[in-house]
Amino acid sequence: MRKSWAMVVSLALAGCGAEFAAVEETIVDGGEDAVELEGGAFTSASGTSGGGAIRVTTSGTIVSAHPRVVRVPEPTKITATQLAEVLEAPAAKTQGGIEVAASWMREAPRVDELVASGDFVAWGTGRTFTVASRRDGAILKSKELGNCFVPIAHSSTSLFALCGGRGNEVVAYDPSTLEERWRRSLNDQVVTIAEGSGTVLVTLRSAQAGRWQEVVALGDRGEERWHTWLPSSNVDVRADGDQLLAFERDPTVWAFDRDSGRVRWSRKTDQAILGVIPIRESLTAVIGQQGVWMLDDGREVASLAADSERRSVIEVHWPLLYSCDDGHLAAVDLETGREKWHAQVSVPQAECTVFPSDAGTFVLGDDHVMSLDTTQPAGRARAITIQGRFKDVTSEHHVRGREVLVGKAHVLTGAGGRFVATVRQHGPILVSLEDVHGPQSRTTIWPDAGSHQKVELTNDYYEDCH
Q: What is the pTM of this model?
A: 0.79
Q: Is it true that the peptide bond before 319 is cis, omega within 30 degrees of 0?
A: yes
- What are the pLDDT digits (tens) for 223-280? 999 999 999 888 999 998 889 999 998 889 999 999 999 999 999 888 888 889 998 8
Where does CATH 2.130.10.10 sit in the chain? 80-373
- What is the H or E stretch that residue 85 is in? helix 80-88
**C-alpha closest to that of 319 among 305, 302, 307, 336:** 336
Alpha-carbon span 461 to 441, nearest angstrom: 9
More confident residue, 51 or 91: 91
Alpha-carbon span 201 to 203, nearest angstrom: 7
Q: In this structure, is the dihedral angle defined by the CA atoms of residues 290, 296, 301 and 302, taken in order, positive or negative? A: negative
* Portion of the chain with pLDDT greater than 90, in percent: 50
**383-458 fold:** Immunoglobulin-like (2.60.40)
**C-alpha closest to that of 272 among 252, 244, 246:** 252
Averaged pLDDT, 165-173? 93
CATH of domain 80-373: 2.130.10.10
Where does CATH 2.60.40.1120 sit in the chain? 383-458
Alpha-carbon span 335 to 79, nearest angstrom: 9
- What are the pLDDT digits (tens) for 115-137? 998 899 999 999 999 999 999 99
- What are the pLDDT digits (tens) for 354-364? 998 888 999 99
Polymer length in residues for the chain: 466
The lowest-confidence range among 150-154, 192-196, 290-294, 306-310 is 306-310
